[in-house]
Amino acid sequence: MRVKVSPLVEYPFTPAWWLPGPHLQTVWGRLVRPRRLVTMRREVLETPDGDELVLDHVDGEAGSPRALLLHGLEGSSNSVYVQGFLSAIARRRWRATAMNFRSCARDPGDLSRMLPNRRPRLYHSGETSDFGFVARTLSQREPEARLVAIGASLGGNVLLKWLGENPLQRTIAAAAALSTPYDLGASGRHLENLAGRLYVGHFLSTLKGKAVEVSRRFSEAGAKIDGPRALASRSFWEFDDAANAPLHGFAGADDYYARASSLGYLSRIATPTLCLSAEDDPFLPAPALARARAAASPAIDFRVTRHGGHIGWVAGPWPWRPSYWAEEFVLDWLARH
C-alpha cells in the first residue's frame, strides 16, 4: 500500500478566548464537566480467558449506528470526554457502547472506586484483543447495524493498532482517534518536564496502587513486578519498566513502546479513519506528530489543529457557555463515512 505523505496542515478550530494555551484546554473539562451526563445500561461480559469486561451501553433508535468508545489512560465510561461523546451520540438517537479497560470500570455508586478484574493482568496501550472481542460480539449481535469506533488518547492508540493489525476487517465501518500518542516512547520523554510531571504524577497515583494490588492478589504477577521500583517511579518509563512491561510480557519499557505504539501500524490501515490531533498537545511532541502524519495510509484523514490541547478543543463565547468542538466534528465525520 502506498504511504501518503501530505503537509501538516492547520485545520480550523477557534479555541475559547478564556482558555488560552494547551494546559487550560486540557484540564478544563476534567475540572468542570459532569461525569453522569447520560443514563447507561451496564453489562458484564465474560472474556475468553475467564476475566470480565464491563460495558456501559446507551440505548437509541433500533437499527441506528452504534459507536464503540475507548477511553484513555486510567479513564472509564465516566470520563468527562466519554460522557460528552455519549451525550452527543444520544442527541443523534444513535446507540453507543463504552468499553472499560480491565481494572478501569468504576463502581456506579462510587466513581472513585475502580472494580478489580479476575486475571493477573491489567491493560496497556498495545493490548488489542479485548477491543477485538467486544467489536466482534457487538457485530454478531447486530449484524445489520453499522458499527463505528472512537478512541481517545490511549484508546486511540489501541484502536489504530487494531485497525493496522486487521487491515481486511469488516467489523468496524469507520473509526476516529483523538489525541493519540502515536509514539509512546517520544510521548513519555516529552512529559519528563515540570508541566509533564504534573500530568504523569496524576496517572501514577492510581497506576502504582493497581500494581501493588495485582501483585498482592496474584503471586505470578508479584514475581514479575519490581514493587519498590514501581512505587518509586516518577516517569512513565520508570513505571512501565518496573511494572507494566514485565507484567504483560515485554522485555522492558523500550520493548513495550516499540511494540505497542500505533505509529508502526498506520500505513496498514484500510478502514476509513479520522486522526485528529492538536499541534500544541502537551502529551506528544510535534516531530512525533509529523512522523505519524507521514506514515498514515491513504485511508486515514489526518487532521491537525493549531490549538486544542489533549482531548480539549474547548470553544464558546463564555465560561458558562462552553462547547466541545471535537465531539461534534468527529460524529459529523463518522456520519459521512
Active site residues: 153, 281, 310
Q: Which three cell numbers stand for residue 317?
A: 463565547
Look-up of cell digits 465510561: 77
Residues 6+ apart with CB under 8 A from 223: none
Neighbours of 1 (CB within 10 A): 11
Question: Closest by alpha carbon to 102, among 226, 199, 221?
Answer: 221
Q: Which three cell numbers stand for residue 82?
A: 466519554
For residue 170, give the 3-state DSSP assignment. Answer: coil
Residues 6+ apart with CB under 8 A from 125: 73, 154, 157, 158, 181, 184, 260, 261
Question: Closest by alpha carbon to 29, among 61, 72, 92?
Answer: 72
Alpha-carbon torsion (146, 141, 58, 170), positive or negative: negative
Q: Could you give the C-alpha distances from 180 to 56, 71, 319, in angstroms and in order?
A: 23, 11, 27
205/262 Cα distance (integer angstroms): 25
User: Is there a contact between 271 and 162 (Cβ–Cβ < 8 Å)?
Assistant: no
Look-up of cell digits 496517572: 203
Give me the amino acid identity at 259: R
**Got the DSSP string for 242-289?**
IIIHHHTT-SSHHHHHHHH-GGGGGGG--S-EEEEEETT-TTS-HHHH
Residue 181 dihedral angles phi and psi, to the nearest 5°? -85, 80
